A = this chain, B = another copy of it.
Amino acid sequence: MSVKERKERERAERERLIVATARELAEQQGWDAVTTRRLAERIEYSQPVLYSHFRGKREIIGAVALEGAVELAAAVRAATAGADGPRERVAALARAYLDFAEHNPAVYDALFQLDGGLAYAQEDTPEPLKDAFAALLECLAEVAGDGVHPGMFTEVFWAALHGLATLTRTGRLLPEDAAPRVELLVARLAVV
């Protein structure tokens, strides 16, 4: 039996290698450069091996997205934990979110821009995605304001951050004024 276990371990290890390599390649050269051939070559296996782990490229993107969701949630929680007062916490959350998007563009794309075959905002939504939203909610519920549904407030705040992140990264907004934009957003949306 131990042989079988070893094989399963190796197989799991190889799956991690695929996801990590896909992510690395995407961050280095963009998702367009992540082709099944290149990916297979980097992990030193042939293409069909990829398909024994994932249904297709889409599922690989999804796997990277889930990894990213865990990290995003952690980054947001770490940032908010170290801030004093609701207002400052929200500002820290916004900065952490945008920093994550800026420094992990490929992962951010996998999460919110590309189709990774994941279900969002539903019952069967993967736990990491739910938890990332929860991380935002925990902090933002404090400043939703009276009579405003915290979940909906979080959605609106999140959408605003997402807009800033994507428009900035695709050159639609100049990165120079990023800081004052965040300030303004927090000042207006958050009710102290």
Contact = CB atoms under 8 A, between A and B. Distances in A.
Contacts of A166: 162-163, 166
Interface in A126-180: 148, 152-153, 155-156, 158-164, 166-167, 170-174, 177, 180
Assembly of this chain: how many copies? 2
Contacts of A188: 188-189, 191
A181 interface: yes
B164 A181 contact: no
A120 to B, nearest CB: 5
A52 B156 CA distance: 45
Contacts of A161: 163
A1 interface: no
A54 to B, nearest CB: 20
Which of A159, A160, A189 has the most B CB atoms < 10 Å from its CB?
A: A159
A45 interface: no
A184 interface: yes
For chain A, give the interface size range: 20 to 34
A181 B152 contact: yes
A163 B172 contact: no
Given A120-B172, A172-B112, A188-B188, A181 B162 contact: no
25 contacts: A112-B170, A115-B170, A120-B170, A120-B171, A121-B172, A121-B173, A121-B174, A148-B184, A152-B177, A152-B180, A152-B181, A155-B177, A156-B160, A156-B164, A156-B181, A156-B185, A158-B163, A159-B160, A159-B167, A161-B163, A162-B166, A163-B163, A166-B166, A188-B189, A188-B191
Given A155-B177, A159-B167, 18 more contacts: A121-B172, A121-B173, A121-B174, A152-B177, A152-B180, A156-B164, A156-B181, A156-B185, A158-B167, A159-B160, A159-B173, A160-B163, A160-B185, A162-B163, A162-B166, A163-B163, A163-B164, A188-B189
